[in-house]
């Protein structure tokens, strides 16, 4: 039986002028620093949501960095080797001159979004519409939805070939003016301009990259989805009937039914969301950092995603629909035979205390399975009834019921029955307020939405309207009960994609289906194959605790977290090299190979 919790033994997190990462807001230092403590520095923009989310992406990718306001940047006596500017930022003339001199002297700059007055340094120009009449509002900051196509071999190889072109929901109107195009931008609506998504410009002995794509908006929109208050619009293939009269996560998905799905299942050729778009954009951001680090010989440091250097994580959850203890005991025995720990999402009122005690004694996690469809009588309610059920008060009531009946005082995770949803991110705030630190609802309820309908197989944090991060992370799932929801032979494609993304392969196996033809066999095949590919199985709680602790390590720079694996970029070999506990460089470790094999 695997003991992931041992990785966390002795973990120590020090807070250095920073509040916990999961609270989602940078707390600036009391006094302005004179020297940067790290090789990478991030200059924050004036839009809180974009700034906080971009910094959170940096932390998730494991890049050790300092964070500065523009005022703190101006007070620095020595600049970090690599500067990353999050737009919008108002620069003064002396800022522009200092940035140019910094790059010319062999350092790096990455600009994310549109920052005026740096066009010459970046080798680009921003095209502003010139209409002889008012159009209403400001239209010069984005050319809208589109797809990025790589124009450079190094950037192209940062993702599996089948993941390109990559969907984006916003891009600054950038045209090349001396820079090299790393990725072009194809707008959804036809345009005669040759827009650039990402460019690089050599200036003196240094390099400057312009990331025109709004990566923060794109990843947030894909992951969080649109506001859900009505049924979604289904595709014509009949495999995704999201207009089923039950409001759920998929009603808010924003990915394209045609361009963002790929064929899976050798036997049935089913169209599914097999590209984790949000995860891919974070990896593209990492590729930009690697480009600068290699060109300017900057030994950037990063912490690997998972404890002990695991390539990816396996997670199995069990939704207790119907609370049949006979079937639950059968599945508990099968999971014990597989030698892993899983997360049991228990529907109110729940299993007996004895059953829950046995589940926990075997090392598994008890979680909540919130029912906003048929509670408490087990009969589906009408639309008005389901709307009344989907509330913070009802969530609190069901959580309390499961706690009391199970005897489990602390419940950490939740998944909504049938992926029920309404609104945008308010549900995450309810979870945070009630002590639930994980939601697992963002996943497919239909065959045609298998895979990554919300663009991610990594834990991610949603954002409040004020731009701060909510202290509850999402760990979505990719499929359920292979052979019942879609073809059984989709498991290999899902595992392959998750391994390439270095994320969490999360599949639901219901006790209610455990004895149905092929389901138990598929579960064991999934577990065996995942282990063969390098997965380590963890519970939902273990994954989230590791994620929050690791983010705080990145925020504070204190790498004293048991199981943390740190790499340093070797520009000469274009590879990441392991760093031991004393900070010394060890053997070469090609992180790209973990992603691209």
Question: Residue 584 has what pLDDT?
Answer: 56
Question: Residue 371 has what pLDDT?
Answer: 98
416-427 residue pLDDT tens:
999 999 999 999
Question: Residue 530 has what pLDDT?
Answer: 98
Q: How far apart are CA 276 and CA 218, in angstroms?
A: 12
Q: Where are the alpha helices (DSSP H) in 105-261?
A: 119-122, 153-156, 215-224
Whether the pLDDT of residue 319 is over 50: the answer is yes
Question: Has this prediction a pTM greater than 0.95?
Answer: no
Contact predicate 216/114, CB 8 Å: no
Question: Residue 378 has what pLDDT?
Answer: 83
233-263 residue pLDDT tens:
999 999 999 999 999 999 999 999 999 999 9
Q: What is the mean pLDDT of residues 15-19?
A: 33
The architecture CATH gives domain 311-446+462-493+503-541: Alpha-Beta Barrel (3.20)
Higher pLDDT, 128 or 25: 128
Alpha-carbon separation of residue 30 from 18, 39, 135 (angstroms): 10, 21, 44
The H-or-E segment that residue 531 falls in is helix 519-532
Higher pLDDT, 591 or 519: 519
φ, ψ of residue 101 in degrees (nearest 5): -60, -40
What is the strand order of the sheet 82-86 is part of?
66-68, 40-43, 82-86, 108-112, 206-211, 196-203, 180-187, 145-150, 166-169
The mean predicted confidence, pLDDT, of the chain is 91
Higher pLDDT, 17 or 410: 410
- In this prediction, residue 580 has a pLDDT band, given cuts at 50, 70 and 90, of low
The closest alpha carbon to 585, from 569, 574, 564, belongs to 569
Record the tokens describing residue 205, joined without a space: 């002995």
Question: Residue 379 has what pLDDT?
Answer: 87
CA angle, 132 as apex, 130 and 133 as ends, to 5°? 110
Q: How far apart are CA 220 and CA 234, in angstroms?
A: 22
Q: How far apart are CA 371 and CA 398, in angstroms?
A: 8
73-102 residue pLDDT tens:
999 999 999 999 999 999 999 999 999 999
**First-to-final CA distance of the chain:** 28
Q: How far apart are CA 182 and CA 162, in angstroms?
A: 18
Question: Residue 23 has what pLDDT?
Answer: 46
Name the percent of the chain lying above pLDDT 70: 89
φ, ψ of residue 257 in degrees (nearest 5): -60, -30
Higher pLDDT, 203 or 484: 203
Q: What is the mean pLDDT of residues 532-536?
A: 98
Question: Residue 3 has what pLDDT?
Answer: 33
Q: What is the mean pLDDT of residues 48-57?
A: 95
Q: How far apart are CA 56 and CA 30, in angstroms?
A: 21
342-352 residue pLDDT tens:
999 999 999 99
Question: Residue 141 has what pLDDT?
Answer: 79
Whether the pLDDT of residue 196 is over 90: the answer is yes
Question: Residue 11 has what pLDDT?
Answer: 33
- In this prediction, residue 18 has a pLDDT band, given cuts at 50, 70 and 90, of very low
152-182 residue pLDDT tens:
999 999 999 999 999 999 999 999 999 999 9
378-391 residue pLDDT tens:
889 999 999 999 99
Whether the pLDDT of residue 17 is over 60: the answer is no
Name the percent of the chain lying above pLDDT 90: 84
Whether the pLDDT of residue 438 is over 80: the answer is yes
Contact predicate 246/270, CB 8 Å: no
Question: Residue 49 has what pLDDT?
Answer: 92
Whether the pLDDT of residue 29 is over 60: the answer is no
- In this prediction, residue 1 has a pLDDT band, given cuts at 50, 70 and 90, of very low
Q: How far apart are CA 153 and CA 244, in angstroms?
A: 44
* DSSP state string for 108-121: EEEEES--TT-HHH
- In this prediction, residue 19 has a pLDDT band, given cuts at 50, 70 and 90, of very low
């Amino acid at each position: 039986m695997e003991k992931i919790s041992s990785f966390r033994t002795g973990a120590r997190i020090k807070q250095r002028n920073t509040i916990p990462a999961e609270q989602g807001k940078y707390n600036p230092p009391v006094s302005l620093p004179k020297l940067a403590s790290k090789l990478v520095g991030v200059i924050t923009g004036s839009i809180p949501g974009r700034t906080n989310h971009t910094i959170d992406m940096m932390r998730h990718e494991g890049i050790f960095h300092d964070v500065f306001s523009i005022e703190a940047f101006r007070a620095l006596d020595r600049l970090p080797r690599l500067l990353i500017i999050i737009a919008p930022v108002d620069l003064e003339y002396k800022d522009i001159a200092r940035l140019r001199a910094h790059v010319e002297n062999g350092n790096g700059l990455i600009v994310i979004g549109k920052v005026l007055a740096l066009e010459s340094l970046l080798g680009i120009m921003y095209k502003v519409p010139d209409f002889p009449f008012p159009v209403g509002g400001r239209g010069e900051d984005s050319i809208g939805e589109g797809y990025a196509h790589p124009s450079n071999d190094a950037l192209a190889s940062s993702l599996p070939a089948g993941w390109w072109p990559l969907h984006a929901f916003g891009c600054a109107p950038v045209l090349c003016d001396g820079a090299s195009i790393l990725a072009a931008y194809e707008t959804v609506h036809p345009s005669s301009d040759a827009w650039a998504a990402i460019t690089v410009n050599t200036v003196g002995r240094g390099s400057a990259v312009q990331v025109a794509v709004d990566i923060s908006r794109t990843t947030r929109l894909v992951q969080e989805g649109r506001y859900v208050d009505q049924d979604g619009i289904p595709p014509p293939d009949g495999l995704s009937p999201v207009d089923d009269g039950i409001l759920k996560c998929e009603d808010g998905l924003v990915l394209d039914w045609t361009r963002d799905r790929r064929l899976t299942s050798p036997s049935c050729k089913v169209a599914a969301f097999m590209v984790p778009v949000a995860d891919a954009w974070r990896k593209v951001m990492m590729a930009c950092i690697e480009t600068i680090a290699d060109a300017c010989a900057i030994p950037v440091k990063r912490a690997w995603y998972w404890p002990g250097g695991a390539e990816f994580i396996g997670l199995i959850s069990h939704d207790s629909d119907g609370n049949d203890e006979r079937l639950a005991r059968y599945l508990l025995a099968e999971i014990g035979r597989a030698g892993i720990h899983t997360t049991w999402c228990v529907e109110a009122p729940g299993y007996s205390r004895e059953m829950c005690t046995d589940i926990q004694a075997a090392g598994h996690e008890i979680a909540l399975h919130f029912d906003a469809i048929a509670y408490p009588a087990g009969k589906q309610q009408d639309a008005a009834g389901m709307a009344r059920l989907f509330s913070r008060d009802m969530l609190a009531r069901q959580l309390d019921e499961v706690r009391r009946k199970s005897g489990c005082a602390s419940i950490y995770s939740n998944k909504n029955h049938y992926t029920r949803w309404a609104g945008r991110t308010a549900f995450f705030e309810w979870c945070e307020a009630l002590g639930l630190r994980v939601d697992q609802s963002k996943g497919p309820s239909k065959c045609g939405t298998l895979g990554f309908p919300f663009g991610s197989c990594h834990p991610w944090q949603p954002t409040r309207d004020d731009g701060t991060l909510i202290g509850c992370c999402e760990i979505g799932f990719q499929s359920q009960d292979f052979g019942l929801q879609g073809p059984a032979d989709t498991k290999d494609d899902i595992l392959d994609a998750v391994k390439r993304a270095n994320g969490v392969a999360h599949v639901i196996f219901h006790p209610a289906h455990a004895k149905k033809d092929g389901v138990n066999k598929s579960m064991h095949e999934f577990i065996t194959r995942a282990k063969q590919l390098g997965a380590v199985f963890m519970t939902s709680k273990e994954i989230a605790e590791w994620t929050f602790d690791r983010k705080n390590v990145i925020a504070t720079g204190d790498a004293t977290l048991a199981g943390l694996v740190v790499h340093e970029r070797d520009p000469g070999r274009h590879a990441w090299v392991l760093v031991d506990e004393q900070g010394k460089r060890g053997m070469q470790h090609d992180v790209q190979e973990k992603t691209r094999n």
